[in-house]
Amino acid sequence: DKAGHRHFMAKEIAEQPSRLTSALDHYLTEDGTIRLPAPGIDFTDVDRLTLVACGTASYACLVAKYWFEQLAGLPVDVDVASEFRYREPPIPPRTVALFVSQSGETADTLAALRYCRDKAQSIVSVVNVSESSIARESDLALPILAGPEIGVASTKAFSCQLLVLAVLAVEAARQRGKLDDNALADRIAALRALPGLVNHSLGTSDETGRIAAQLAEARDILFLGRGRMYPLALEGALKLKEISYIHAEAYASGELKHGPIALVDKSVPVIVMAPHDELFDKTVSNMQEVMARGGQVLLITDREGARVAGHGVWETLVLPDVAPLWAPILYAVPAQLLAYHTAIAKGTDVDQPRNLAKSVTVE
């Protein structure tokens, strides 16, 4: 049931405020403390996290790496499951292996989990389908509470995966003595603000549609982001490829001059995801290098970012202000809406893109 929407994907994008609220209610108590299901995780007993997943879920892991490392001082390795499982990586003691999967049935992710389990590792999973193999074979399965996701392109599962990983990173920081009570309350209040902000940014849908009608003409599109926005650039490019079939690539914006800038000319739209955060100026200087070569920049930012750097860009999409740490959860929305509207403009099958399956149970 598409609940009045044209596609499941549109419905699932629109559901995000309520799905994020469900996840927040599940993991946060009324008095603002974090509640993990038993047996929980003792982060004081952990020296390293290994995060493993495929596709969009692996981008959620990449964002989480920034969070765990910056907030909790906990080193994180991220790997795609198909590489991890065959590399036979050594697993140091005091490592937690964490698997992220919407379906909980992805063959490579499950095989990677079993590899770690055979090494007597402690296994945590972040899953949408609670009855899945990955959930069942974990010591601790953390549900994302996104509800059934039908559209092949993952949307609400991504934002809910990010939210659960954010809660986990805050909890790790708390246990490891990296957050005092005030800082903890601030982080949690900022998480609580997300459903409202996501709801607000859904209001950019019409404007995104207008921009997407022009993106639909492009043959190649570049996405750029820095720091915790780099994985969002990857997600934006993946989403666009999947449903609009336009070739899109993402780079950490600092990598631009190490190669990809050779691609830039006026036929290549460049989408820059950059809230006005501590790395904004660096990203803007990369953006200016693109503009100096005729690149058509779509800047996705906040009001301050648009004020400081909006002149001369092709288009600007302005999102509400958000705590910089949690910006990836908010910026997932324009990444999804751009792909959705570009696919609509091209007339492709949004919910059932060619060659793709919702759950990849063969390797």
d(CA 262, CA 279): 23
Nearest residue (CB) to ligand F6R, 240 versus 272: 240
The residues that touch ligand F6R, with contacts defined as CB under 6 A, are 54-57, 101-103, 106, 109, 153-154, 238, 242, 359-360
Residue pair 216/342 in contact (Cβ under 8 Å)? The answer is: yes
Q: CA dist 284 to 102, 185, 233, 250, Å?
A: 34, 32, 15, 16
Closest distance of CB 51 from ligand F6R, Å: 13
Closest distance of CB 265 from ligand F6R, Å: 29
Closest distance of CB 114 from ligand F6R, Å: 15
Beta-ladder partners of 122? 96
Closest distance of CB 56 from ligand F6R, Å: 3
Nearest residue (CB) to ligand F6R, 58 versus 253: 58
Q: Catalytic positions, please?
A: 358
Closest distance of CB 353 from ligand F6R, Å: 9
Structure tokens, 341: 């509207």
Query: What are the start-end ranges of the H helices in 73-138?
Result: 81-87, 107-118, 133-136
Q: What's the CA angle centered on 116, arms 53 and 97, to 5 degrees? A: 55
Nearest residue (CB) to ligand F6R, 296 versus 336: 336
Q: Is the dihedral of CA 119, 121, 126, 131 positive or negative?
A: positive
Phi and psi dihedrals of 134, rounded to 5? -65, -40
Max Cα-Cα span within the chain: 56
Structure tokens, 53: 């997943």
Give 268-298 as a DSSP string. Answer: SEEEEE--SSTTHHHHHHHHHHHHHTT-EEE
Nearest residue (CB) to ligand F6R, 102 versus 204: 102
Long-range CB contact pairs, 78-82, < 8 A, 24+: 78/51, 78/52, 79/50, 79/51, 79/52, 79/112, 80/52, 80/53, 80/54, 80/108, 81/52, 81/53, 81/54, 81/106, 81/108, 81/109, 81/111, 81/112, 82/54, 82/108, 82/363
Closest distance of CB 300 from ligand F6R, Å: 19
Nearest residue (CB) to ligand F6R, 241 versus 282: 241
Nearest residue (CB) to ligand F6R, 56 versus 122: 56
Q: Which residue minimizes CB distance to ligand F6R?
A: 55
Q: Length of the chain, please? A: 363
